[in-house]
Amino acid sequence: MSTLGMTNRLELKSFAETASRASAPAREFHARAQDRSGPPRRIAIPTGLLVFALAMGAGMFALSMAVLLPIVKATYHRKSIAETLSATIAYGGIDRAAKQYHALKATQPDTYNFDEDELNSLGYQLLRASKFKKAIRVFQLNVEAYPQSSNVYDSLAEAYMDDGNKALAIANYQRSLELNPKNRGALQMLHKLRAPGFGFRRASREPI
């Protein structure tokens, strides 16, 4: 478990214990009120309970904000691994970027955003720049990280197709379809790739 995960668990446990202690006065007040009778007291009981509930609610809200805000900030203020790798690819090459990805994921998993769409967006940036080999490597990293995601195989298949590798494009579209039988895009591409006469223009690698 990451350091952030352990910290979050401890904070949430402390939050639950504090909430339990905060509700104790209200429970004690209600128990004492049950032992008393008379119209004035019957009116005072719900009023007192309402005041306790409002006070406890305000305290709980403030406490929850104090506990949860650091967690939310840590989650949504992570550095983009896509931007980091993009800079590394530009000056150090794709192999160096791949090593950096594995190193950062192992040592700083809470500092960087390693969500699936990070590498997916970087891969498509490289595809649009016609850097097919680099895009393939980035999509391969995403497949390693999310082997049960249909989308990562679909993206890798598209990169292979753009690079002119028909066999691997078919293999990855097939895997994408296995993981998500409702992936109509993969099904359509498989029909095109398997159609008689399907080929690639060498200059652009676009299917014809």
> How many separate domains does the chain show?
2
CATH code at position 168:
1.25.40.10
One domain, residues 159 and 173: yes
Give the model's pLDDT for residue 206.
42
Last residue in a domain, options 76, 93, 116: 76
Q: Is 57 in the same domain as 99? A: no
**85 and 133 share a domain?**
yes
57 domain residue, yes or no: yes
CA distance 87 to 27: 59
- Provide the domain limits for residue 83: 79-194
Give the position of tokens 């305000």.
Answer: 58
At 21 the pLDDT is 61
**CB 152, CB 143: distance < 8 Å:** yes
Q: How far apart are CA 69 and CA 98, in angstroms?
A: 33
Q: Tell me which H or E stretch contains 59.
A: helix 39-76
Predicted confidence (pLDDT) per residue in 69-126, tens digit = 454 445 568 999 999 999 999 999 999 999 999 999 999 999 999 999 999 999 999 9
Same-domain pairing of 10 and 99: no
Per-chain mean pLDDT for the chain: 80
127 in the same domain as 33: no
Does 146 map to a domain? yes
- pLDDT score of 33: 53
- Phi then psi for residue 79, to 5 deg, are -70, 150
Same domain, 104 and 152: yes
Q: Tell me whether strands 79-80 and 112-113 are parallel, antiparallel or unpaired.
A: parallel
The answer to whether 50 and 5 have CB atoms below 8 angstroms apart is no
Asked whether the predicted pLDDT for residue 137 surpasses 90, the reply is: yes
Highest mean pLDDT among 32-36, 70-74, 154-158: 154-158
Q: Which residues contact 53 (CB under 8 A, 6 or more apart)?
A: 26
- Higher pLDDT residue, 64 or 130? 130
Position 36 pLDDT exceeds 80: no
Identify which has the larger pLDDT, 68 or 123: 123
